[in-house]
Structure 1
């Protein structure tokens, strides 16, 4: 079993009500939730968030699919690059439209952790593995 990469290993300091860090960890978790090596997913996170500065749902939504595919390619995240790019765009659009671009708004809209996890699962491409990775580190500051 490959070692899991934590938020802190990516330089993300999760804090309660800190949407910036929660969004970054959500994107990292999304990328690591796919059948792809964790170091490649971590590099894809670094390219998109750190190098390209797409560190909010609004900034991410304003990428084109082609730009995202190129970013993923630079990280050698090529196996699912087209679908991953589209799902990242869909994810950011849904987060912006339904939750003002904020993970904390998902929390406030949820009665409890289970409801929160169900809402995360409503994002296209976010399955049990992504939720498990995200909650492993985020639950401490969310619940």
Structure 2
């Protein structure tokens, strides 16, 4: 029986868990204002201590309520934001998050004119500066900034490869190298945002390692 290689594992990883959270939330990511803002909201929701599926559902409800831009989010009432979060099952943090969403929308409007490409321009290729600016949004801690950058690297190539501590934890659990260059090489040209999302999912799911290893062995 042939030995399972690291490349086999990465291929199985991508086949099994290779879906970004933006895609799961119905965000067709592009370097345009609305998808980038929706990604910012999603990253903030995902950074709370709540199941990823609930955060994704809440993101979808905010979008369905028309809150897809900083202007729309800021114009909504606090109760409208709470209600949309609640419909997504995001109840544990709904009141605080509703306030943070409103304050963050005001910040996006006043600082970047509602267009997060302005944040990218201000950072001018400096990923550490981009991460710092992201953390100025209310409720956006280190985890949220990492999530945003993991996903945004699909449309902001200067960020790639962005493999944060959570993705490297997933690599370690699978016995894969933790050097970003080596990981992306094993991925054979796969979108680094998809690779990062897959590795993060492994880090968050206790059954994922076995699932990937079984899929790799069956190749």
TM-score of the superposed pair, with normalisation by structure 2: 0.60
How many residues in Structure 1 have an aligned counterpart in Structure 2? 139
User: Given that residues 96 and 102 in structure 1 are in contact (C-alpha distance below 8 angstroms), is that contact kept between their aligned partners in structure 2?
Assistant: yes
User: Given that residues 5 and 38 in structure 1 are in contact (C-alpha distance below 8 angstroms), is that contact kept between their aligned partners in structure 2?
Assistant: no
Separation of aligned partners in 1, 2:155 and 2:140:
20
Kindly report the root-mean-square deviation, in angstroms, between the aligned alpha carbons of the 2 structures.
Answer: 1.5
Any residues of structure 2 matched to 1:14-25 within 5 Å, and which?
14-15=29-30, 17-25=31-39
Greater radius of gyration (CA) = 2
Separation of aligned partners in 2, 1:76 and 1:11:
17
Match of 1:66 in 2: 79
Match of 1:105 in 2: 118
Separation of aligned partners in 2, 1:70 and 1:140:
31
Q: 1:118 offset after TM fit, Å?
A: 0.4
Gaps of 5+ in 1: none
User: Given that residues 21 and 56 in structure 2 are in contact (C-alpha distance below 8 angstroms), is that contact kept between their aligned partners in structure 1?
Assistant: no
Q: Which consecutive segments of 4 or more residues in structure 1 shift more than 6 A?
A: none
User: In the alignment, which of 23, 26, 43 is matched to residue 8 of structure 1?
Assistant: 23
SS of the counterpart of 2:97?
helix
Separation of aligned partners in 2, 1:124 and 1:109:
19
Gaps of 5+ in 2: 1-16, 159-219
Separation of aligned partners in 1, 2:20 and 2:123:
27
User: Given that residues 29 and 134 in structure 1 are in contact (C-alpha distance below 8 angstroms), is that contact kept between their aligned partners in structure 2?
Assistant: yes
Q: 1:5 offset after TM fit, Å?
A: 5.3
User: Given that residues 61 and 93 in structure 1 are in contact (C-alpha distance below 8 angstroms), is that contact kept between their aligned partners in structure 2?
Assistant: yes
Separation of aligned partners in 2, 1:106 and 1:41:
24
Separation of aligned partners in 1, 2:20 and 2:89:
17
